[in-house]
Amino acid sequence: MGRPRQYDLDDLLAHARDLWIGRGVDGLTIRALSAASGASNGAVYHAFGSRDGLLARVWAEEAGRFLTFQRDRVAEAMREGDATEALVAAALAPATYAKDNEDGARLLLAATADDLLTSELDEEGRTQLLGFQKELGALLVELAELLWDRRDRAAVTTVRHCVVTLPGALLLNADRITDPLARHSLGHAVRGIAAASPPDRPS
């Protein structure tokens, strides 16, 4: 019996990304990826451990690219010395990212790292997602310090609302992720939140 055919992981991830974008998260299954890529079910399981592992790896690959992009946008705003605009840049990053990569931005907004951290996840997938959470957390703390010279829970949670919660609500539900009205609303909402330091103990 010949040796089983080896499949390139990057190739499998590319097929998986196309399936997620084309069919939605429910359409990305081990069987669907096997059919799209020509790899056996066993080869796909070997590469990702489970469907949860597959979803996590696809999302984490996109998230890594996005986080680099987002940090670059924040750095550009900070070169102007404006912490509020740095927060706005972070919040609008999914829409800005979508100008050249709308599919990737929609993929990111369709799930969160918390959604994907399941008990079925393999160690590699878990490590990737936890690493993303750590990097994002560091960015949230950095922005809270820039805005209000604070790094307590209330301040960081307020920044998270601006950078994670509001973009997910406004951009994902817009007709297009780059919809100018959604961008306008998001930018003004974030500037309004940034205008006042959050209470130490929100009621």
* Exposure string for 145-166, b = 16+ CB within 10 A, e = fewer: ebbbebeeebbbebbbbbbbeb
pLDDT digits (tens, 9 = 90+) for 116-131: 999 888 888 899 999 9
Question: Whole-model pTM above 0.85?
Answer: no
pLDDT in tens, 42-77: 999 888 989 999 999 999 999 999 999 999 999 999
Half-sphere exposure of 64 (CA within 13 A, CB side): 11
DSSP letter at 81 equals: T
